[in-house]
Chain A
Amino acid sequence: MADTPYVIEMLHITKEFPGIKANDDITLQLKKGEIHALLGENGAGKSTLMSVLFGLYQPEEGMIKKDGVEVKINNPNDATALHIGMVHQHFKLIDVYTVMDNIILGAEDTTFGFLKKKQAREKVKALSQKYGLLVDLDAKVEDITVGMQQRVEILKMLYRDNEVLIFDEPTAVLTPQEIEELMQIMKGLAAEGKSILFITHKLNEIMAVSDRVTVLRKGRYIGTVETRETTKEELSRMMVGRPVQLVVDKEDAVPGEDVLKVSNLRVASKLYKRDAVHNVSFTARAGEILCIAGIDGNGQTELVYALTGLEKAAGGKVELCGRDITSASVRDRSNCGMSHIPEDRHKHGLILDYTLEQNMVLQKYMEPRFHNHGFIRFEAVREYAQQLIDQYDVRSGQGPVTVARSMSGGNQQKAIVAREIDRDKPLIVAVQPTRGLDVGAIEYIHKQLVAQRDAGKAVLLVSLELDEVMNLSDRILVMYEGEIVGEFDPKQVTVEELGLYMAGAKRQNKEEQEQ
């Protein structure tokens, strides 16, 4: 073994795909026992680089060294043999198996075909004590919390004696408390000599936990800095290439009349017998951003479906601008005064095989100005789309005739935001409008939403990102298991307090909510 402080070195990696250099001469050196953050916007090449390390892609140029010795990683099995492990963003666990079975799955020790569960169990127990990863080994995965499931994933890596642990955006699904615990676990692992690569685009977490940061931008290597010698502002500048405003400037809200009134809304769950949304009541007012916070899967999606007409409500009442729209069609609601930035831009927001201009008129094609007795007026569509593209700076390869599928995620989202805002309706339902977007695009979309609020629109923002919630909202509702468990003023509540409500540890009663 050569004498080197680095456990993994990826030197001058270049990986090309047809028409695009996903990685252009990137160098990443991971020291033994450090937590190394890999920071970059979407499309910066983080995933490609990790795929190269995992043997899923072969680089055109560059080499990988393990402990100073050059290695060839041709497939994930090679990576496993080199003790490189990864916690995926979406866990790869079998719900109906116990925690123990999930951990040993794929790495079972056997005698004559029989599992040697006893030894395995002792090993797992020892590991979980050593690193403070407390889980009930006999619980089924479907019964434990997401944070617990993540610990199971970490235990899986440790059980396989991995030395290099890759965490791919591990905090996306966690509550603030769980994130805090994860940070502690990561620090513990590093202290025990494990080397951690931490992929993320959240600056707070990098500052809190990492030792060094490598920044990528558009497939290029920008630099590696010591975390304690840098600031969030500098990191975001390195990541985006220009100074970014991390906090939105906004005046206090001046709420006007009620726009959306929801009373005792219930939505049946497709998976379980209970309601996905249970007796939810709230009012959204003109000129304010009302935010619904909560952990993913607590009924926010179903609530929005019922509000926008994508699914039927099981009970209750929805009123928009004084009209009962509980059982109105999607188009009725939309014409009546609702625009909707959907949660899933690929599933709902866009027809991916349509061109940008066709997508821009998705709810407008039947307006008289866009057709003549059923025949589409292509020039009118082109003109309108071009106007939106210019006004909202939607970038694409071929302008209005670009196929939506070929656009970047950020520009797809910008196109949807442009389309929905331009419809100029009194209510904007925005569901995770910045999901998966980079800092620059987030900044832009936040500004647009605040501008709409200031123009007297009611904005209903559903978000999983607490930063976004705190930053943007004028009023916060927390949803837990299909119910509203608290209402807050963002100026008078802390992230930690919200986290307790999101996790179901606390709840306000009706009287408190009304205060």
Chain B
Amino acid sequence: MKNPLPSLLKKDGTRSVLASLISVLIGLLAGGIMILIVGAATATIGMKGVWDGIRIVLLGIFTTGRDAAGSLTFGFNPNAIGNMLFNATPVILTGLSVAIAFKTGLFNIGAPGQYLAGTAATLFIALSMPVEGSEMVKWYASQGVEFAVTFPQWVVWVAAFLGGMAAGAVWGAIPGLLKALLNINEVIACIMTNWIAANLVTWAFEVSKLKNVVEGTKTGYIYKTTFNGVATPKLGLDKLLPGSQVNGGILIAILLAVVVFIIINKTTFGYELKACGSNRYGARYAGIKDRRNIVLSMAIAGSLAGAAASLYWLSGNTEFFWNTYQSLPAVGFNGIPVALLASNHPIGVIFAGVFMSMLDIAGLQLTNLTAYNEYITDVIIAVIVYLAAFSLLIKTLLKGRRKKQEAVPQPVVDPEEAKIELQKEMEAADQ
């Protein structure tokens, strides 16, 4: 019987996964070394502290605290796992946003701006369509304001979610249009639209009636959507993982990832998108409308970043701090490492997003339970991101090793390409 392992290893996908796993392992190893160095250099930590730190980084979400004797306890931690999934939701979606743009040959660094556009649209819709019997309606009633129409809670949720996606799509389509029509580099256009979004959204909230005036100390914040009784249903996940913030959003994110996977791999539309991304001239030769596809791809990418914002704010757990909004949301940028780590594979993005969010949780545990602070996990993430960029190289190494083992004397090197390569080398040598 044939051993199934080698044939599995031959697959391109397997190699991608392996390359990403190797990046992750090296990242964790580097984190371990950091912990060791910091621990050895700090009198208050000691070797026991180092050991604790390493265990928390590796098993962060399974850490349950410390027992009476002061040693770490491990086990099923529903709170940590639930929060991991909750935090993973937006980052999976921004990761998808970056990944689908990559497939079309575009670098969507505009996810933060699209996320902000989605944020604004979602909050405006969720807080402007009064829900019968909500806190907001009651508060306005106490101020003597009655609403003429009220809506069912689910209608508002759906409208806010779709509105967020639509706003993200519009914001993503702008750099797409600039690229398609004027050939302006999408990276530059994205950076600009990011900051335009940041300032526009701050201004929009500033002049809005959504600022929290109910709780006196919170005037810098926008109401939570729960003020209007709108929140993503928990779908029983809170029973499964009690004490955490998890809700149905993670399922929607996974569903969207599967939808993106199907679009990219199974449809003629995905065939066109990938053709544009891989070779714009070739696509044009084939009669594919490359300009239209660039705009569409950016719009879809934007809608996914918008969905990330919608699901995050519609959870009702967090409130948006509008005052003096001076930075871009990190979750938008985090989509880039997630996409990189997943080699732009939509399903891989789910795992990469969950993993990144797991490291965040591990960072929190580290702060809570040891003398270390959470920035150690940032180092790990940085190393992984750095290596993820090299995952292509790792993949090539895996490929090269395999080829030597098989030793098939088949000329797979394109002679013309070899020639071009040679010329390049000679040019380099000339210089």
Contacts and interface: CB of A to CB of B under 8 A. Distances in A.
A354 B278 contact: yes
Contacts of B427: 92
Contacts of B266: 375-376
B327 interface: no
Interface in A457-490: none
Contact of A342 (B278, B283, B285, B414): B285
A90 interface: yes
A90 B423 contact: yes
A376 B428 CA distance: 44
B285 A349 contact: yes
B406 to A, nearest CB: 8
Given A363-B286, A405-B414, A19 B279 contact: no
A92 B415 contact: no
Given A340-B285, A349-B285, A354 B275 contact: yes
A406 B282 contact: no
A358 B423 contact: no
Given A19-B408, A43-B415, A374-B269, A76 B429 contact: yes
Interface string A3-34: 00000000000000111111000000000000
Contacts of B414: 405-409, 412
Contacts of A219: 411
Judged by DSSP, the binding face of B is helix
Contacts of A310: 284-285
A66 to B, nearest CB: 19
Contacts of B279: 347, 350-353
B409 interface: yes
A353 B283 CA distance: 12
Contacts of B406: 19
B287 A352 contact: no
Nearest to A340: B285
A20 B422 contact: no
Contacts of A88: 423, 426
A334 interface: yes
A313 B412 CA distance: 40
Nearest to A55: B429
A115 interface: no
B143 interface: no
B281 interface: yes
Nearest to A51: B422
A356 to B, nearest CB: 13
Chain B contact residues (Cβ within 8 angstroms of A): what range? 35 or more
Interface residues of A, number: 59
Nearest to B420: A346
A351 B407 contact: no
B404 interface: yes
A54 B426 contact: yes
Contact of A374 (B267, B411, B413): B267
Interface string A366-408: 1000110011100000000000000000000100000001111
Interface string B282-294: 1111111100000
Interface in B170-220: none
A358 B271 contact: yes
Interface string A278-314: 0000000000000000000000000000001010000
B271 A376 contact: yes
B425 interface: yes
B413 A409 contact: no
Given A347-B279, A365-B268, A374-B267, A76 B407 contact: no
Contacts of A56: 422, 425-426, 429
A48 B422 CA distance: 8
Interface in B393-431: 400, 403-404, 406-419, 422-423, 425-427, 429-430
Given A20-B413, A365-B268, A76 B282 contact: no
Nearest to A437: B416
B400 A92 contact: no
B430 A375 contact: no
Contact of A351 (B283, B289, B426): B283
Interface in B233-282: 266-269, 271, 274-275, 278-279, 281-282
A440 to B, nearest CB: 14
B411 A362 contact: no
Most A CB contacts (10 A, CB to CB) among B274, B406, B423, B426 go to: B426
A106 to B, nearest CB: 8
Interface in A208-248: 218-219
A327 interface: no
A436 interface: yes
Contacts of B407: 19
Quick one: which of B279, B284, B423 has the most chain A CB within 10 A?
A: B279
A75 interface: yes
A452 interface: no
Most buried by A among B271, B278, B423, B430: B271
A63 B83 CA distance: 65
A68 B200 CA distance: 77
A434 interface: no
Nearest to A75: B429
Best-buried of A342, A354, A436 by chain B (most CB within 10 Å): A354
A19 B416 contact: no
- Enumerate the 4 nearest inter-chain pairs by beta-carbon distance, A residue then B residue, closest first: A331-B287, A43-B415, A348-B285, A42-B415
Given A329-B289, A397-B410, 8 more contacts: A51-B425, A354-B275, A358-B271, A370-B268, A375-B266, A375-B268, A376-B266, A376-B268
20 contacts: A19-B412, A20-B411, A21-B409, A43-B413, A48-B418, A56-B425, A90-B423, A106-B430, A351-B275, A362-B275, A362-B286, A363-B287, A365-B268, A370-B268, A376-B271, A397-B412, A405-B417, A409-B414, A412-B414, A436-B416
Interface of B: 266-269, 271, 274-275, 278-279, 281-289, 400, 403-404, 406-419, 422-423, 425-427, 429-430
